[in-house]
Amino acid sequence: MYHHVKKLMYTVNISQPDPKFGKMLLEQFGGANGELAAAMQYSVQGLNCEDAARKDLLMDIGTEELSHLEVVGALIRMHLKPMKDDREAAEADPLIAIAGGGGVGLVDSMGNAWTANYLKITGDVAVDLRSNIAAEARAKIVYERLIGFTQDQGSRQALQFLMTREITHMRAFTAALESMEKPIFSVGIIQPTPGLVDQYFNGSTGESQYGETDFRGPWNESHGLSLVESEIKGGTGLDVAPYDPKPGTEKTSPVDSSPVGAYTGNAGKQIKERNSAKKAQAAKNAEPAA
Amino acid sequence: MYHHVKKLMYTVNISQPDPKFGKMLLEQFGGANGELAAAMQYSVQGLNCEDAARKDLLMDIGTEELSHLEVVGALIRMHLKPMKDDREAAEADPLIAIAGGGGVGLVDSMGNAWTANYLKITGDVAVDLRSNIAAEARAKIVYERLIGFTQDQGSRQALQFLMTREITHMRAFTAALESMEKPIFSVGIIQPTPGLVDQYFNGSTGESQYGETDFRGPWNESHGLSLVESEIKGGTGLDVAPYDPKPGTEKTSPVDSSPVGAYTGNAGKQIKERNSAKKAQAAKNAEPAA
Amino acid sequence: MYHHVKKLMYTVNISQPDPKFGKMLLEQFGGANGELAAAMQYSVQGLNCEDAARKDLLMDIGTEELSHLEVVGALIRMHLKPMKDDREAAEADPLIAIAGGGGVGLVDSMGNAWTANYLKITGDVAVDLRSNIAAEARAKIVYERLIGFTQDQGSRQALQFLMTREITHMRAFTAALESMEKPIFSVGIIQPTPGLVDQYFNGSTGESQYGETDFRGPWNESHGLSLVESEIKGGTGLDVAPYDPKPGTEKTSPVDSSPVGAYTGNAGKQIKERNSAKKAQAAKNAEPAA
Amino acid sequence: MYHHVKKLMYTVNISQPDPKFGKMLLEQFGGANGELAAAMQYSVQGLNCEDAARKDLLMDIGTEELSHLEVVGALIRMHLKPMKDDREAAEADPLIAIAGGGGVGLVDSMGNAWTANYLKITGDVAVDLRSNIAAEARAKIVYERLIGFTQDQGSRQALQFLMTREITHMRAFTAALESMEKPIFSVGIIQPTPGLVDQYFNGSTGESQYGETDFRGPWNESHGLSLVESEIKGGTGLDVAPYDPKPGTEKTSPVDSSPVGAYTGNAGKQIKERNSAKKAQAAKNAEPAA
Amino acid sequence: MYHHVKKLMYTVNISQPDPKFGKMLLEQFGGANGELAAAMQYSVQGLNCEDAARKDLLMDIGTEELSHLEVVGALIRMHLKPMKDDREAAEADPLIAIAGGGGVGLVDSMGNAWTANYLKITGDVAVDLRSNIAAEARAKIVYERLIGFTQDQGSRQALQFLMTREITHMRAFTAALESMEKPIFSVGIIQPTPGLVDQYFNGSTGESQYGETDFRGPWNESHGLSLVESEIKGGTGLDVAPYDPKPGTEKTSPVDSSPVGAYTGNAGKQIKERNSAKKAQAAKNAEPAA
Amino acid sequence: MYHHVKKLMYTVNISQPDPKFGKMLLEQFGGANGELAAAMQYSVQGLNCEDAARKDLLMDIGTEELSHLEVVGALIRMHLKPMKDDREAAEADPLIAIAGGGGVGLVDSMGNAWTANYLKITGDVAVDLRSNIAAEARAKIVYERLIGFTQDQGSRQALQFLMTREITHMRAFTAALESMEKPIFSVGIIQPTPGLVDQYFNGSTGESQYGETDFRGPWNESHGLSLVESEIKGGTGLDVAPYDPKPGTEKTSPVDSSPVGAYTGNAGKQIKERNSAKKAQAAKNAEPAA
C-alpha cells in the first residue's frame, strides 16, 4: 500500500524558466533511464522477489524513485511554463505545448512515450541486481550531463541531489549482490561448457582508415580467457563439440530465485523446495501480526 | 566492413520440430535480451567508443552476436516449420504463420516487433560496460530457461553453446571495466554529495499479510551506508541541504569517455583534450597501414 | 513524497493457480485500462494541476491506484506460478515464463509492453476529469469481464473490491467536474461557431445486408441539434461560412486551468492572472506550515 | 462501403506557409487526439455495436472525422511546403522533410507514428460513449490551443470549423448516452460493493513546500461519498470485508451491449437473448430492401 | 469528403464461428499488410500527390481499401463472437475478449496495436507506386494463406473477393508507374556513380553445413551488373573513388514529384516550376466547376 | 558466420561538423528506410529463403547493408560531435546529446527508436523481392534528399556512394525476380476471380476546390482493366458473385517458396515436395565439403 505526502522529497526552485532545458530534463521523467523506469523496474522486481530481505530493498528503492519522479516533475514543470504562451518556446516541443498544455508528460526529451520496453526484469534476483547496478550507473551519467547543460543554480542543486541518490542505490544493489555470496560469473544453475567458456573470439580484425587496430587487452587473457582466431582468418575457431547442459552444476546461493523450466531436474526442485520452506517460515513467524 | 561466411558458427540439428518451442526461442532472436539486441548494443557502442582498445572488444563481441543471431535463427526455423501447414501449430503464432510464412521474424515469443528501446547505449564506456555485464547475465538466464523447456538433445546442445558464450562475454566485459582502474562507484566526473550519498532511505516499511517485513541487510550498512527513516514514519529523512555540483571531483580513468555538457569546466576540457591526443597518436601510428 | 507499507490494501488469496486466467488479469496490471495507466494518468495530471483542491483529488486517487497495482500484481503472481515449470502453462505466455521467470511484468494479456500512449493528459482540468470518468468506466467493465471468466472465489472477491473502487472514483471525478459549475458543453475559452454547432451531419446512410438502416435518435435532435444531409446525398451540407474564433466567448469557471496559446488575447491573460493570484494566496496561507 | 468526393468538407486557404505551425498541426492529423484517432475510434466501435441506432450514430461521426482528416491534412500540407527546399524549415522536422518529402504523414507534432494504442474501444456502448465524450473534449481543447498559436486568418477559420464540430459531436454522444436511461454511475451488470463504494480514500495528505494542502471538496462528500483516512495515517482504512460479485444486480438499459464472460449467469444470458431478438427483428424488417 | 453507405461492398456470411480463425484474420484488419495499412498508405500518398491524375488513382484505391476494412471487419466479428462467453475461446486472445468485449480491434493476430510505422510514404510518386505494388503483392499472399487455413466456404469466398482486388490494384499501380515513362532504374534526379553502380558485391561466400553455397545468377550479370569480390576475400572490392553528386543527371518524367533539398540546383527548380504550372492550369480548367 | 574488418567500406571525411545535418542523417542509420532496416530485411529473408541461389543474393546484399550502416554511422558521428558540449547543438536532439552522449543511436531523425515494424518479410521470395525493389527505391530517394540538404563535399560524396549502391541492389533484385519467370501479376498459387480482377473501381469522384477532378488514365484501361462506377454514384458496382478459391490455378515458378496453409490441396503439397527434393539434392552435392 502506498501513501503520498504532498511535501516533495527535495525542494526545487529555479531562478528563471528555460523551456529548452525543461525539455532536456524530460529524459529523467519519461525517458529510458529516468525515474519512472527506475521506480517500475525495482518495484515490479520487488513484487516478484522470493527473498523477503532483498524484496524489502527493492521496494525501498522503488518507492524512493517514485518520490524522485515527483521532484524531477516539479522541476521540469517550472522550466516548461513558457511553452504555454510563448510561440517560440512552444515550437521546441509542440507535443508538450499543444497536446499537454505545457505541463510534464510521460515522454522523453524527443517526445517518445514512455514504454515498459525500457525495463529489465527477469525474476532472477541475482540477475536483476546486476541490471539495477547498470541502471543506476546510467542514471548517474545522465544527471551529470544535465548538470553540464544548465547554469541555473537551483536546477543544478536539485540534479546533484537526484544524482547522488543513484550512487547510494548503486552501492546498496552491489551490497545485496555481494551478500548472496555467489562467484561473480555464476548465473543460474547450469555451468557453461568447459573450455569453450574460456575462448575469446576475435570477431573484428584489421585496421581502419582512422588508426583503429586489432588491440589486445586484459579481456583477451584475464579471468581465464584466451584468444581464438576465426576460421575466416585462418584460425581454429571456437570449440564447437556438442555438450549437454547439466542443470545443478553451477554454484548457487541460498537466496537464489527458483529456477525456471520443466526439465531442470533435481536442481530445480531442490531450490524451489528450499524457497517454499523459507517463505512458509517467514509467514509463520509473521502470523501474530497478520 | 562485414563479411558473411555461409557456414554457421555452430551446427544445429533437431530430432523433430516443436513449433511451440520454436515460438519460445524467438525470445532470443527478436526479443529484449536476444542476439540482435546484443549485437546492436555492442556494435553501436563500439561505433561511438573513443578508446580504440575497448572499441575493438565491443566490435569483436558485437560481431560474434550477429553470428549467434544466425545460429539461433536456423534453430528456430527448424522448429517453426510445421506452422506452414498445420492449423493447430499456426494457431500458436499466426503472425509467424500467416504474415511470415512460417519463418523467423524479428519478433519476440509473443509477437512484439524488436525495438531499439531494448538497447542501453550511453556513450560512456565505463557505464556501457556495466550495461553489457548485466545484459550478458540476462541472456544467460534466458538461455538456461529455454534449455529447461525442451528435451530435444540437438536444441539443448545448441542452447548450451550459446549460453556458454554469454559467460565468456561477461568475463571479457568485466575485465575491460576492471582494467579502467576506476573505483567501482565512480561514474563520470562529478562526486555525489558527501553525507547524503551514505544515507540508505527506508521507503517501504511494515509487514505484509504474507509475512514479509522490514528487513535489515548489508545494503543498509556496508559500502559506507547507514539507514535513515522517512519523515513520514517519524524519521529524520534525507539530508536535503543544497549542494553545488563540482565537475572534476570524481576519480577518472585515462580511458574514460569525454564528459558531455557545456558547463563541465576544466574537467570536461582536460579529458576531451587527452582523448583527442590519444586518437591523433593512434591515427599517426597507423598511417603507413592506411 | 511516497511511502510504501508492505501490507496490501486488500488481502488476496486463491484456491488454486490458473495461469491462463493470470494472463488475462495482466490486462489490469500492464494493460491499456489497467492500474498503472490509472495511477500515472491521475498522478501526472495532478503534478500539472493549477487548482490545489482538484490536485489533491488527483493525487488521492492516483496514489490509491498504485496500491491497486500492487494488489492486482499479487493476485496475478499467484495465478502465474505454474508458468515457472509447467511446459503447457509456459506456452500460454512465453514472454512471462521465459523472459520474466513466471512473474508479473508491465505487459498486457497479449504481451504488449505498457506505453504512456494509453494516457490522456491535457493539462486542462475540466477536460482531464472527463477523461478520468471515461477511464473509470472502462476499468469497471474490464474488471466485470474478468469476474465473468473465473470461478475462483478469492479472485472474484478481489476483483469485486477493485471494481467497486472504480465506481467510487467515477463518482468523485464527476463531483469534481460538477463543482466547477461550467455548462456541460463548455470547454476552454472559445465558443463554437453558432449555427454550425447545431448541425448533426448524416455521414452514413442507406441500409446494410444485415438490416441496419439510417436511424433517427435524440442525438439528431436534442441538445439543440438538427439533422443535415450531405451534399453527396443531395442535402445542403454543413454551413461552411468562414467564422473567426473569438477567445473569451466561452463560459469559464473560476477553477479553469490557464488557457494555452500566444494569441488568446485578454481572455488568456485574465485567467492566467487569476490563477497566479490564487496560487500566491495558497502559498501565503500555507507559509507557517512550510 | 465508403465513397470519396474530391471536394473538401471545408475550403482551406492560408496567406503564407508557416512550417513550424504546420508541424504543430500534425497533432490533429496523426496525433493522439487527432482526426484519425477519432475516425478510427468511432468507426471501429460502430462495427462492433449491437444497437443499430447507436451504430448509425457512430458511423455518421466516424465518417465525418475522416472528412476532417482530409481537411486538416490539406491545411498542414500548405504550411509544410517550405520544408521541401528550405534547409532551416527542414531542420524543424527532418522526418517530414527528408523521409516524407515535405508532405503530411501519420505522425504527431514530434514525429511519433500514429498508433492504435491511442484508441479506447471496449465494445460496451455505454462505456464507449463516455470515452467519446472525453475524446471530443480533448480534441476541442487541442484545436483551441492551435488557434492560440497562429495569427493566419485562413488557418484560424479552418480550425474554428473543425473545433466547432467537436462540440457538436460531444452533444450527440451525450444525447446517445442519456437516451439509454441508465443511472450515471451504472456500468455493466454487477453492482459495486455497498458501503465500500461510498468511501473516498484520502491517499495523499500533508502540505507541500508550495502551499498545497489536503483539501476537502464535493468529491469527498457528494454522490454518497464520505472520507476515509488511511491506516498509514491512523485512519480506519477501507472496508475490506470480502464480498461476492453478483451479476445482474446493476441497473441495465434495453440497449446495453451483451455482457462478456462465461460466468455471468442468467444476467448475461438474458441480455444476450434480448439483443439477438432485436437484431433478428431488424434484419426481418429490412428484408425487402436486402 | 467521405460518405459511408451501410451496405457492405461484399456480403459476408459464415457457417459457424471459428474464433481462432477470427484471430488469424485480424492480420488483415489491424496488421502490417492489412486493409487499414493499405487505405492509409494510398490515401495519405494521395493527399500529398502533386500529379492530379495519379492522385485520383491513389484516392480511388485508398477509398476502396476502407470499404475492404469494413468487409473484413464484419467477417472477423462473426468469427470472434464466441470469445464473449466461452472461456477457452477467450484464452486465445484475451485482449480481444476482455479489453475489447469480443469485437474487432485495430490489432494484428498477436495483439499488436496498428502503427503508422507499417506505412511507406515518401512523397515521390514514382517511388510510392513501387511501394504500393509490393504492398499489394504482400496482401495477396496473406489472403491466400488465410484461405489455406479455413474450410468455411463463406469465409473462403469473402477472402477470394478481397484477394482478387489486390491483384486488380497491383495492375493499376503498375500501369500508373509505366505511364510515367521513366527507365525502370531511374529514381529521382541524381544519377548513380558510373562504374560503381554496375558492381555486384559478393558479401557472403563459402558453403554452409546444409549445402548452401556461393551461387551465381542473373543478379550478378544482367542489367549491366558484374561480380566483384570483397577485399576480405582477396578481391578488388568496390570502386570507392570519390564522386560528386550531379543533380539533374537522372532521366525524369513530366509527372515526377518535385525534388526535395535546398541544394538541388536548377534541376530541382525546373521540376518545381513545371509542377506549379501544371497545377495552376488544372485549377484554371476547373474554375467553372468550382 | 560474420566477420568484421575494421576498415570502412568507404572512407568518410567532412570539412566541419554540422550537427543538425547529422540529425537528418540518422534517418539512414536508425530510420524506417535506413541501412539497418535494409540489412535486417534482406538477411532475415535470406535466413528463411528455400531457394539457395536467391538466398545467397539476399545474404550478399544484407551483409553489404551492414557495412553501409557502419559507413553512415561514422559519417553521422562526425557531424554530431558538437552535441557533446555545445548547448545549442544539444537542443536540436537532446536524446542524442544527453542520453546518448552525442554519439549515434538506433533512432531516426526525430528520435524514434528503430523498430522491426519497418520490415517487410513474408517468406515468399517472389513477394519479398518486390518489397526489396521498393525498399531500394525509397532508400535512393532519401539519400538524394540528404545530398540536397548539405553542401559539405565529403558528406555529399559519401552519400553519393551509398545512394549508388541502392540502384545496384535494385537492379539485382529485379534480375532475381525476372529470373523466376513468373508473369508479373502472378503471386502465390491461387488465381484471382476472373472478371472481378479486371474491374477498376472508381472510389473517388467529383472535383475539388483546387481543380483536381476524376481523371482517366492507363490504370483504368490497360493490363486488362476497365472502369466500374460505384453503386453510390449510380454505377453497377463490382461483380460480387461468390467464387470459390482454387489453389493451384496460378502460374508458378520452379523456385517459388512453399505455399502456406493446411488446405492448399495438391498444389501446396507438390510445391513443398519439389522444394524438399531440391534442398536434399543441394545438401547431397555439398556433402564432401561439409
Q: In chain B, which residues touch C (CB < 8 A)?
A: 20, 23-24, 27, 31-33, 92, 108-112, 141-142, 145-146, 148-149, 203-209, 212-214, 230-233
Report the residue from F31, F148, F206 with minimal CB separation from D6: F206
Query: What CA–CA distance (Å, rounded) separates A109 from F91?
Result: 9
- What is the 3 state secondary structure string of chain A? CEEEECCCCCCCCCCCCCHHHHHHHCHHHHCCCCHHHHHHHHHHHHHHCCCHHHHHHHHHHHHHHHHHHHHHHHHHHHHHHHHHCCHHHHHHCHHHHHHCCCCCCCECCCCCECEHHHCCCCCCHHHHHHHHHHHHHHHHHHHHHHHCCCCCHHHHHHHHHHHHHHHHHHHHHHHHHHCCCCCCCCCCCECCCCCHHHEEEECEECCCCCCCCCCCCHHHCCCCCEEEECHHHCCCCCCCCCCCCCECCCCCCCCCCCCCCCCCHHHHHHHHHHHHHHHHHHHHHHHHHC
Q: In chain D, which residues touch F (CB < 8 A)?
A: 1-8, 11, 85, 87, 90-91, 93-95, 97-99, 101, 107, 110-113
Q: Which of the four pLDDT bands, split at 50, 70 and 90, describes residue D286? A: low
- Whole-prediction pTM value? 0.97
- What is the 3 state secondary structure string of chain D? CEEEECCCCCCCCCCCCCHHHHHHHCHHHHCCCCHHHHHHHHHHHHHHCCCHHHHHHHHHHHHHHHHHHHHHHHHHHHHHHHHHCCHHHHHHCHHHHHHCCCCCCCECCCCCECEHHHCCCCCCHHHHHHHHHHHHHHHHHHHHHHHCCCCCHHHHHHHHHHHHHHHHHHHHHHHHHHCCCCCCCCCCCECCCCCHHHEEEECEECCCCCCCCCCCCHHHCCCCCEEEECHHHCCCCCCCCCCCCCECCCCCCCCCCCCCCCCCHHHHHHHHHHHHHHHHHHHHHHHHHC
Q: What percent of chain B has pLDDT over 90?
A: 93
Q: In terms of pLDDT, which residue wins out, C255 or B279?
A: C255
Question: Which amino acid makes up residue E203?
Answer: G
CA distance F253 to chain B (A): 17
CA distance C64 to chain E (A): 22
DSSP state of E247: B
DSSP state of B139: H
Q: Residue E123 is placed in which grid cell?
A: 512523397
Q: Which residues in F lie closer than 8 A to residue A231 (C-beta atoms)?
A: 1
Which has the closest alpha carbon to F8: E192, E240, B50, B278?
E240
Q: What percent of chain A has pLDDT over 70?
A: 98
Q: In chain D, which residues touch A (CB < 8 A)?
A: 20, 23-24, 27, 31-33, 92, 108-112, 141-142, 145-146, 148-149, 203-209, 212-214, 230-233
Q: What's the Cα-to-Cα distance from E258 to each of E59, F56, F136, F147, rounded to whole Å?
A: 20, 37, 19, 15
Residue D190 φ then ψ, to 5°: -115, 125
Query: What CA–CA distance (Å, rounded) separates E271 from E256?
Result: 8
Interface test with E, best of D10, D48, D63 (most E CBs within 10 A): D48
* Pairwise CB contact (< 8 Å): C94 & B111: no
Query: What CA–CA distance (Å, rounded) separates A194 from C290?
Result: 64
Q: Are A283 and A264 in contact (CB under 8 A)?
A: no
Q: Which of the four pLDDT bands, split at 50, 70 and 90, describes residue D25? A: very high
pLDDT at E287: 56
Q: Which of the four pLDDT bands, split at 50, 70 and 90, describes residue F287? A: low
Q: What percent of chain C has pLDDT over 90?
A: 93
Q: Are A198 and A225 in contact (CB under 8 A)?
A: yes
The arithmetic mean of pLDDT across residues C109-135, rounded, is 98
* Pairwise CB contact (< 8 Å): A6 & C77: no
Query: What CA–CA distance (Å, rounded) separates B2 from F66?
Result: 7
Query: What CA–CA distance (Å, rounded) separates D84 from E123?
Result: 10
Query: What CA–CA distance (Å, rounded) separates C124 from C48?
Result: 9
Query: What CA–CA distance (Å, rounded) separates F168 from E200?
Result: 7
Query: What CA–CA distance (Å, rounded) separates B65 from C195?
Result: 65
The arithmetic mean of pLDDT across residues A10-29, rounded, is 98
Query: What CA–CA distance (Å, rounded) separates F287 from E212?
Result: 11
| Residue ranges for chain E with pLDDT beneath 70 | 286-290
Average pLDDT over chain B, rounded to an integer: 95
The arithmetic mean of pLDDT across residues C100-107, rounded, is 98
Q: What's the Cα-to-Cα distance from B285 to each of A205, B272, B281, B282, E86, rounded to whole Å?
A: 17, 20, 6, 5, 73
pLDDT at E286: 60
Q: In terms of pLDDT, which residue wins out, C207 or C286?
A: C207
CA distance C26 to chain D (A): 16
Query: What CA–CA distance (Å, rounded) separates B138 from B156?
Result: 18
The arithmetic mean of pLDDT across residues C192-207, rounded, is 97
DSSP state of B145: H
Q: What are the tens digits of pLDDT across the range A160-210?
A: 999 999 999 999 999 999 999 999 999 999 999 999 999 999 999 999 998
Residue whose grid cell is 534525507: B238
Q: Are D272 and D261 in contact (CB under 8 A)?
A: no
**Phi and psi based region of residue B146 (left: phi greater than 0; alpha: psi -120 to 50; beta: remaining):** alpha
pLDDT at F112: 98
Q: What are the tens digits of pLDDT across the range B237-287?
A: 999 999 999 999 999 999 999 999 999 999 999 999 998 888 788 777 765
Contacts of E97 (CB under 8 A, 6+ apart): C24, C145, C149, D260, E83, E84, E89, E90
DSSP B57-114: HHHHHHHHHHHHHHHHHHHHHHHHGGGGT-HHHHHH-HIIIIISTTS--SB-TT-PBP
The arithmetic mean of pLDDT across residues A54-73, rounded, is 98
Query: How many Cα atoms sit within 13 Å of D147 on the Cβ side?
Result: 30
Chains that touch D (3 or more CB pairs under 8 A): A, C, E, F
Q: Which residues in C lie closer than 8 A to residue A8 (C-beta atoms)?
A: 1
pLDDT at F284: 76
pLDDT at B278: 83
End-to-end CA distance of chain A: 15
CA distance B283 to chain E (A): 21
DSSP state of F107: B
Q: Are E245 and F156 in contact (CB under 8 A)?
A: yes
pLDDT surpasses 90 at F27: yes
CA distance B185 to chain C (A): 27
Q: Are C35 and C65 in contact (CB under 8 A)?
A: yes
Query: What CA–CA distance (Å, rounded) separates B242 from B186?
Result: 21
Average pLDDT over chain F, rounded to an integer: 95
Query: What CA–CA distance (Å, rounded) separates B109 from B76?
Result: 11
Interface test with E, best of F42, F49, F65, F141 (most E CBs within 10 A): F141
pLDDT surpasses 50 at A289: no
Determine which helix (DSSP H) or strand (DSSP E) holds E226, and give its type and residue range: strand E226-229
Q: Which of the four pLDDT bands, split at 50, 70 and 90, describes residue C282? A: confident
Q: What are the tens digits of pLDDT across the range E176-193?
A: 999 999 999 999 999 999
Chains that touch B (3 or more CB pairs under 8 A): A, C, E, F
The arithmetic mean of pLDDT across residues D107-121, rounded, is 98
Q: Are B259 and B271 in contact (CB under 8 A)?
A: yes
CB atoms within 10 A of CB B97: 31
pLDDT at C289: 43
Q: Which of the four pLDDT bands, split at 50, 70 and 90, describes residue D282? A: confident
The arithmetic mean of pLDDT across residues D271-287, rounded, is 81
Q: What are the tens digits of pLDDT across the range B76-113?
A: 999 999 999 999 999 999 999 999 999 999 999 999 99
Q: What percent of chain F has pLDDT over 70?
A: 98
pLDDT at B287: 57
- The CA R_g of chain D, rounded to the nearest whole Å, is 24
Angle at alpha carbon of residue F15, lines to F14 and F16, rounded to 5°: 95
The arithmetic mean of pLDDT across residues D85-100, rounded, is 98
pLDDT surpasses 80 at F66: yes
